[in-house]
Amino acid sequence: MFKIGCHLSISNGFLKAAKEIISIGGNTYQYFSRNPQGGKAKAWDQKDFEGFMEYAKENNIEGLLCHAPYTLNACSSNPDIREFARMCFRDDIKNLENFPNALYNFHPGSHTGQGVDVGINQIVEILNEIIYPEMKTTIVLELMAGKGSEIGRSFEEIAEIISKVNYKEKLGVCLDTCHVYSAGYDIINNLDEVLDEFDRIIGLDKLKAIHLNDSKMPFASNKDRHEKIGEGTIGLDAIVRIINHPKLKSLPFYLETPNEIEGYKEEIELLKSKRSC
């Protein structure tokens, strides 16, 4: 099955968003656990959740991807911001544990001048504090474009974080096609080599989700500007190879393109028509 969806708001609940994704031809979606700029998560609504679970079962929605707020920075030089990251992880994971096997995607963080080594150690420290043995949620590190002092701009940095976390089996990776291209991995001309490199350094078994985006920026620019599918520097042909690649095709794909719902619907239709089977 082609698992395809887009980013949706759950401000009106999980069930409403599930109906929305089905209405535009998708079968999974990504949502923010709380306002992307931070703040409090809205209170857990058990009735909505149960309604969602029933609807998801009837409509073959397999799983969702929860995205942490952008303000979660586990390696800020500011201890208050690191404390917010801890709180946010704990709070969001508590909700996610209601799902049978949730995925929680976060940006590893920006070291804000402390240097990569200090940054990685602070991320690891927090992950080791918040992960517990019975946790069912998989925490997914998103590969970043490498703007500013962003950590997670290379397979090596992601692998180093994973290697230092005690419960490695609770971690996964999300490949964002816009980010990875901006970070200097040539997924247009060398997709097989890039995936081989990923496998060698991180392990393809760790890959849990794909953020499917075109890019407004040139190759290896370290800039993070998403573009609509087929309208950017990556282009439709490369994206079609990605959704059909034997090593990727069983993964869930999430659009984070600059679109309203109608645009997402068109992209989902286009991608489904280009999917081999």
The C-alpha atoms of residue 222 and residue 45 are separated, in whole angstroms, by 39
Binding segment toward Fe ion, per CB under 5 A, in 90-98, 111-119, 176-184, 190-198: 176-184
Is residue 153 part of the contact set for Fe ion (CB under 5 A)? no
- Report residue 60 CA to chain centroid gap: 21
CB nearer Zn ion, residue 95 or residue 146: 146
Of 131 and 140, which CB lies nearer to Zn ion in the complex structure? Answer: 140
Tokens matching residue 178 = 């816009």
What three-state secondary structure class fits 173? strand
Query: Using the rule CB under 5 A, is 150 a contact of Fe ion?
Result: no
β strands within the chain, DSSP E:
4-7, 28-32, 65-67, 103-106, 109-110, 138-142, 150-151, 171-176, 207-212, 214-215, 226-227, 253-255
Give, as ranges, the residues between 209 and 268 that touch Fe ion (CB under 5 A). Answer: 211
d(CA 28, CA 8): 10
Single residue of 157, 160, 224, 267 touching Zn ion by CB under 5 A: 224
**Does residue 176 interact with Fe ion by CB under 5 A?**
yes
Q: Which window, 54-62, 128-136, 204-212, 267-275, contacts Fe ion (CB under 5 A)? A: 204-212
Q: Give the contacts of 181 (CB within 8 A, at least 6 positions apart).
A: 187, 188, 215, 219, 233, 234
Using CB distances below 5 to 8 A depending on partner kind, what does residue 34 bind out of Zn ion, Fe ion, none? none
Stretches 110-118, 128-136, 138-146, 159-167: which one binds Fe ion (CB under 5 A)? 138-146
Interface of this chain with Fe ion, residues 33 to 72, rule: CB under 5 A: none
Q: Residue 211 carries which DSSP code? A: E
User: In this complex, which beta carbon is closest to Zn ion, that of residue 170 or of residue 226?
Assistant: 226
Of 120 and 173, which has the nearer Cβ to Fe ion? 173
Q: Which residues contact Fe ion (rule: CB under 5 A)?
A: 142, 176, 211
